[in-house]
Structure 1
Amino acid sequence: MAGPLRVDEVVFAKNNVQIMMKNEPNSMVDGYLTIKKRVRSAGRMCSPPCSPPPSLTAHWIPNEKLARSIHSDGGYTFTVDLGKMRSLRLFYDNDKAKGQLVIASRENHFKVLHFPHGGLTQLLAVLQEWSLCSEQIGKPGKEKETDGHMRTFIIQQVALTDEQYHPEEGMFVRLAIDTWQAFHDSNGAVLNSSLIRRIVFFAGVDDAARPLVWPFLFGFYSFNSTREERLIVYRSKEEEFKEIERERISFLSECNEPSIRQVLRKLECDVLRTDRSSPFYSGEGNPNVECLRELLLNYTVYDKEMSYTQGMSDLLSPILSVLQDKVISFWCFTELMKKSQFLSSPKQAISAHLVMLRELIRLLLPEFYHHLALSSESMELVFCHRWFLLFFKREFNESDLLTLWECLWSGHLTEHFHLFIALAIIGVYGYDVLERRLPADEMLMHFTEQAKSMSSSLVLNHARGFLHQLSQYKLLPCSLESLVKQSKIWEDSERPSLVCSQQCEHTKATLVV
């Protein structure tokens, strides 16, 4: 694999940006500000969704020094790696293009840059596109407390070095329709399904190819099935779907049981507020909302024991919006429910997975583990519950979520990749938890406030990196037995030995040097 490539690109440039001199508190000096983006590519084929995140470096030089082309000592210049800062704040004057940029370091040092001649609008666009920072919206009820005159961006701490990325990071591009079709033989069977899963795991699927690829990832179609066999499968499942619909219509028209009626009312309420900001579900009288409702009602008849549980609408919604086929969407959803233990038996399933996650935190994020160990309440990892229940649905915007879900459903390397995604979220977005020593309740609030502002590319890069790091261990605690047995990361090497003690979560592991 080719070594990391780095490309510098100027993404922002503005003259007459002012800085106040330390020794002259009443003196403002005009200067030229540039912000350069450095893109790191792990290989020649790396595409944006799988690329490690870019860094931004700000450089300010006085106009006088710039004009004289002075490159020797003397004169004040200012250079800072924005990725190593704590936060960036934009304060606006009445004219929204003018104001100040306040750069805060993690040591609580501040640098104020003044923009008396505009430029903040363009700077805002740069920050909003930068995956290493997320805009802080504010606490409920206080979103408008600054009356729109301030925007705050929190810089996420990136813990991985080049060596800690997965060795295959950046070797693949997103799976496009032409590539997908090239994997089919003359009868329509998909060749080399393991390579398909590998591509999806590392790079994802193009929007246009998702309706074709997802039915295979969810198991509706077999990869080795021919076109004719898939047509037979579809017609058979369509007839079964119609029978479920008829049963649902008959059942609901005759059912007067209070408990069932209560479940149905909950379903109706959930559907009406699920993803209504998405273009696919927005607007009054949208038929897609009614379709979502009917599919969930069908499921209550299909699986009477489980019926409807809060959260199902969140999981079915993206599937329907991508596939846009009632029959395939319904059966892919049923496959997802078979794989998911979290909605059917949430307490037992989450408890088992939290045991494994705590071990992974202890091994791969020891500093965070030590903070958790200060409180038994913190060790409950309450902030992770929603992540597992909804497969991170509330943590990412729609586009990022689809890429993350594809990585999960690919089944490449491990069936427990959700644990590494959770680990990566903690590693990327948990820096302030450590620095501010947040207790359990504030920890929950901290991660909740990150909702919809997380970057899937950043998280997935870290998650795959953590997965690779785990593969270097010779000994692992027995509490990770399920993960070890159901993972393929040791296929080319000897599986680690499992060791136990009275407290399995505190078993020590030895790292291969």
Structure 2
Amino acid sequence: MPPKQRTLLSGEVELLYVKSKVYLHPSASKRDNVVGFLSISKGPNSTNSDLLISFTAESQLSKESLKLYQEADLDELDGSKDLKVVSKPVSSVLSGYSYSVPMSYIYSIQLRKPSSGMWYGSVVINTLDGEKLPIIFFHDDESPSTKLRQKKRNQSFETFSESGEVIWGGTEFLAVLHNYCHLVKSTVEPSVYLVNPASDDLRNFAPFKEKPKPGKDSKKKEFQIPDFNKVIANAKWKVLETVATFSAKTKNQVIDIVDEHAPLPIKQLINKPEVQKLGNEFEGARVYLAKWAAQVKEEAEESQKKFHLNEEMYTIINKELGNELLTNEEVSKAGRREAISKSEWDNFFDYSGRLRVTVNEIKDRIFHGGVSPSIRGMVWLFLLEVYPWDSSAEDRTVIRASLETQYHELKAKWSTDEDKRSTEFWKDQKFRIEKDINRTDRHLDLFKNTKRKRISVSSLASNVPPTIRESSPETPDEDDDDEFDVSNIRNPHLFKMREILLTYNEYNENLGYVQGMTDLLSPLYVILQDEVFVFWSFTKFMDRMERNFVRDQSGMKKQMLTLNQLVQFMLPDLFKHLDKCESTDLFFFFRMLLVWYKREFEFDQVLRLWEILLTDYYSSQYHLFFAAGVLSDNERIIIQNLRRFDEVLKYMNDLSNHMNLNNLLIRSELLFLKFRRMIDIINRENLYKSERTIVSPDLLQLLSRDIVVEKEGPRPVGAGGG
């Protein structure tokens, strides 16, 4: 039976946890020991951060209260679920040594393990203001609940914890605390656990990462980012000279759209087999090449005169930063941390569901650790601003109802309009959506079809009745649907994705559907699996991603040129080598930027990367620093081994699913911190110089957290979809 519930009155608390026979040792004499209860309790309208951790002396309890505390101590063992309500524990009674402290006021807890008969294990509670509360000693040999638990463990031969340590009252208390707060073990002092730590707390209690000591060649490596356990498969790339060649096509799809008067170098670029492969994967890549390749190349060459710093400025920057580039604090800050747990997330909110910490604090935690899958859906609704950060729980209920109404009104505009559905444009959009949905992330269990019997194609061509045969691995049903009947979407989740994209056509009539948008929708659907929430999350996501899909490709062009400038600015030696390889257009990043590295990592890693990028913690265009991090991580092997455009393109394409996400996140953060420091130095030097160093406005914009929005204009008359 569920526990009996009743409304708590002012001055009352519900006992969530009780440990009996804990003591205070005011002096060395046993006669002075104070026996009592360690408890965790919850008051009216309390959140986890309001929970009280208390020591209550037995001598200060009435007979009724003493009985309730003793019963609560044994509740978990005897299976009792009765609500235990007592008077709120006293904050401080000097004569009785009792005290209480809210969870939000606790900074850390230190566990001091018992030592072979010499002394009892104890817990030290440190508050935010640095006060140490009286130390609590666990007399496990007297505590009824501890003795019963120990007896059960002995019978099942489970005396030790998973880590091999003896289980005692303090470890049991810590296990319960994990349910109500975020505990992080300090790497400086393993016996200390930080309670709901802020990012600065985590950094202060983590050892600084040692930076490589400068050696004889330190001057040559002044602008090298520290190498974080990079493992490169050198053997794989010793055979780059044997890159496979492909038979040339006489007339490929890209050439069909390129002006016949395009410069010869551009035609040669388009004919490269690796370019053809990417062009076939994303139509946008073909359009990009057809419309912008020549201009991008010209602008990139022109920009080389603008975005390489002169030797004098490099010397000044190097002198300022030193051979080690970044401080210990900066290197330490870039470390990765554990994901935000549900208990930690819950502690960010008060009883009304409003944030009790700043948005920047939360984004800092997400940026450096991500979130656990169990709360990812809720967190992303905030990151995508479907839910405002300053909303209450009641506000979010109202917002949900409003969004549901708006969605169904939009959906009705196409689902109930026969005339609209009969237009060639709408049918073309529907076909494009269904075709792409049928091949998006079909490796995920959520999007797989159940196997079924199907009709033999050969029998349909004759006059004999069709025969039924089982599906085989060589001819799976999914392929049959994809090839011959894209409208036959049998998977209910894929069907809902189709509905969402058709409705988005009504929401954004100018843009409509463009290839690649299913790649952006799929992760949102997997996380939320709610048609209404997925739709509105997608619209918010597309606010920032729409520039990737505008018809003239200006959004992608701008990002590629900005990345070009960033590589020149931050990785000048690599850029010079790419220039020799005719690869400064960085075309191999087109797919990565278009769908935010969706094809470069395993699905769960993509989710982690996206939630980090969605924080806009350093920059709304942080995905460009991540791209620079990929290049930085592979700089040495590219310079030492690659000589031609096709070698560079193949090498970069083959990195897909072979990159270490955490290492790249660390590297890209260090690159950003270095970039910001370099800009600061240049700005300072410009104050004292008549001839100023010009930094591109596009590079300066990388320091902004404001989302770059570029909307598609009205669709030209007669223009098709995609």
Using structure 2 for the length normalisation, give the TM-score: 0.45
Letter in 1 for 2:340: L
Aligned AA (2:703): S
CA distance in 1, matches of 2:336, 2:513: 41
| Candidates 275, 281, 294, aligned match of 2:499 | 294
**Residue 403 (str. 1) matches residue 608 (str. 2):** yes
Q: Give the C-alpha shift of residue 362 in structure 1.
A: 1.7
SS at match of 1:174: coil
* Residue matched to 1:211: 377
Asked if 1:320 corresponds to 2:525, the answer is: yes
Distance 1:216 1:223 in 2: 6
State the SS of the aligned residue for 1:419. helix
Cα deviation for residue 430 of structure 1 reads 4.9
Aligned to 1:197, the other structure's residue is in SS state: helix
- 1:267: Cα distance to partner? 1.1
Q: Is the 8 A contact 2:437 2:494 kept in 1?
A: yes
The secondary structure found in structure 2 opposite 1:220 is coil
The CA deviation string for residues 207-228 of structure 1, in whole angstroms up to 9 with x for no partner, is 1110110000001011110111
- State the superposition RMSD in angstroms: 3.3
* Equivalent residue in structure 1 for 2:386, among 220, 225, 233: 220
C-alpha distance in 2, partners of 1:85/1:445?
16
Structure 2 counterpart of 1:222, which letter? P
Q: Matches of residues 161-176 of structure 1 in structure 2 within 5 Å?
A: 166-170=331-335, 172-176=337-341
Contact 1:421 1:460 (C-alpha < 8 Å) held by counterparts: yes
DSSP 3-state at the match of 1:471: helix
**Residue in 2 aligned with 1:459?**
664
Cα pair distance change 1:313/1:346, threshold 3 Å: farther
1:413 aligns with 2:618: yes
Q: Which of 239, 243, 246 is residue 409 of structure 2 equivalent to?
A: 243
In structure 1, the gaps of 5 or more residues are 1-39, 53-80, 90-102, 107-138, 140-159, 490-513
Q: Residue by residue, what CA displacement relative to the aligned partner does 1:38-79 show, whole Å, maximum 9, x if unpaired?
A: xx9999958xxxx99xxxxxxxxxxxxxxxxxxxxxxxxxxx
Q: Return the structure number with greater strand share.
A: 1
Deviations 1:131-157 (A, max 9, x none): xxxxxxxx9xxxxxxxxxxxxxxxxxx
Matched, 1:255 2:421: yes
Query: Are 1:356 and 2:532 matched, yes or no?
Result: no
Compute the displacement of 1:172 (Å).
Answer: 4.3
Instruction: Name the CA shift for 1:226/1:481 in 2 (closer, same or farther; >3 Å).
Output: same
Residue 472 of structure 1 aligns to a residue whose secondary structure is helix
Match of 2:449 among 269, 283, 298: 283
Deviations 1:314-349, CA, capped at 9 Å, x for gaps: 000001101121111111110111112112356211
| CA distance in 2 between partners of 1:405 and 1:353 (Å) | 18
Aligned counterpart for 2:646 among listed residues 419, 422, 441: 441
Please say if residues 45 and 171 of structure 1, whose CA atoms lie closer than 8 Å, have aligned partners that are also in contact: no
1:307 aligns with 2:493: no
User: Is the 1:172–1:203 contact (alpha carbons within 8 Å) kept by the matching residues of 2?
Assistant: yes
Q: 1:84 to 1:240 in 2, by over 3 A?
A: closer
CA contact (8 A) 2:676 2:703 kept: no
1:385 pairs with one of 590, 603, 627: 590
Q: Are the aligned partners of 1:401 and 1:456 in contact in 2 as well (CA < 8 Å)? A: no
Give the conservation status (yes or no) of the 8 Å contact 1:372–1:379: yes
Q: CA deviation at 1:183?
A: 0.7
Partner of 1:484: 700
Equivalence for 1:475: 682
Residue 82 to residue 236, structure 1, CA distance change in 2 (3 Å): closer
Secondary structure in 1 aligned to 2:580? Answer: coil
Mapped partners of 1:441, 1:250: distance in 2: 51
Q: Structure 2 vs 1, CA of residues 223 and 276 (structure 1 numbering), >3 Å: closer, same or farther?
A: same
Deviates more, 1:407-416 or 1:435-444: 435-444
Structure-2 change in CA distance of 1:267 and 1:45 (3 Å): same
CA distance in 1, matches of 2:697, 2:512: 32
1:174 and 1:206 in contact (8 A); partners too: yes
Corresponding letter in the other structure for 2:649: L
* Other-structure match for 1:189: 354
Q: Say if 1:400 and 1:455, in contact at 8 Å, map to a contact too.
A: no
C-alpha change, 1:442 and 1:373, in structure 2 (3 Å) is same
Q: Would the aligned equivalents of 2:414 and 2:421 in 1 still touch at CA under 8 Å? A: no
Structure 1 residue identity aligned to 2:593: F
Distance 1:172 1:202 in 2: 6
Match of 1:199 in 2: 365
Match of 2:555, SS state, is helix
Rounded Cα–Cα distance in structure 1 between residues aligned with 2:398 and 2:438: 35
Pair 1:105–1:353, CA change in 2 (3 A): closer
Aligned to 2:548, what secondary structure does the other structure show? coil
Q: Mean alpha-carbon deviation: is it higher for 293-302 or for 357-366?
A: 357-366
Pick closer, same or farther for the CA change 1:467–1:253 going to 2, 3 Å: same
Partner of 1:508: none
Question: Alpha-carbon deviation of 1:478?
Answer: 5.1
Aligned counterpart, 1:372: 578
Contact kept in structure 1, 2:230 and 2:633, CA below 8 Å: no
Structure 1: how far apart are the matches of 2:650 and 2:603?
22
- How far apart in 2 are the matches of 1:210 and 1:184? 16
Residues 86 and 104, structure 1, Cα contact 8 Å, conserved in 2: no
Query: Match for 1:274 among 437, 440, 444?
Result: 440
Kindly provide the amino acid, as one letter, of the partner of residue 210 in structure 1.
R
Distance 2:418 2:615 in 1: 37
What are structure 2's unaligned runs of at least 5 residues?
A: 1-186, 189-198, 210-227, 241-273, 275-323, 451-489, 684-692, 706-722
Q: Distance in 2 between matches of 1:305 and 1:105?
A: 48
Corresponding residue number in structure 1 for 2:345: 180
Q: Is the 8 A contact 2:339 2:366 kept in 1?
A: yes
Q: Which residue of 1 aligns with 2:161?
A: none
Q: Deviations over 1:74-106 (max 9, x none)?
A: xxxxxxx996664468xxxxxxxxxxxxx9899
Judge conservation of contact 1:420–1:463 (CA < 8 Å) in 2: yes
- 8 Å Cα contact 1:300/1:308 also seen in 2: yes
User: Which whole-Å CA distance do the structure 2 matches of 1:316 and 1:470 have between them?
Assistant: 32
Go from structure 1 to structure 2 and tell me whether the alpha carbon gap of 1:404 and 1:83 turns closer, same or farther (over 3 Å shift).
closer
> Could you say if the C-alpha distance between residues 389 and 84 of structure 1 is closer, same or farther in structure 2, counting changes exceeding 3 Å?
closer
Matches within 5 A, 1:93-104: none
With 304-313 and 439-448 compared, the bigger mean Cα shift is at 439-448
Question: 1:62 is matched with which residue?
Answer: none
Residue 665 of structure 2 aligns with an amino acid whose one-letter code is L
Is the Cα contact below 8 Å between 1:315 and 1:390 reproduced in 2?
yes
Amino acid at match of 1:189: R
The AA in structure 2 aligned to 1:223 is W
**Paired residue type of 2:648:** M
AA of the residue aligned to 2:401: R
Cα shift readout 1:99-146 (whole Å, capped 9, x = no counterpart): xxxx9899xxxxxxxxxxxxxxxxxxxxxxxxxxxxxxxx9xxxxxxx
Paired with 1:393 and 1:216, the residues of 2 have a C-alpha distance of 21
The 2-side partners of 1:485 and 1:82 are apart by 31
In the alignment, residue 599 of structure 2 is paired with which amino acid?
Answer: R
Structure 1 residues 310 and 430: alpha-carbon distance in aligned structure 2, compared to 1, 3 A threshold = farther
Structure 2: distance between partners of 1:466 and 1:195:
22
Against the structure 1 CA distance between its residues 43 and 223, is the aligned structure 2 distance closer, same or farther, given a 3 Å change threshold?
A: closer
CA, structure 1 residues 472+305, in 2 after alignment: closer, same or farther (shift >3 Å)?
same
Structure 1 residues 255 and 372, CA gap change in structure 2 (3 angstroms): same
Separation of aligned partners in 2, 1:252 and 1:306:
22
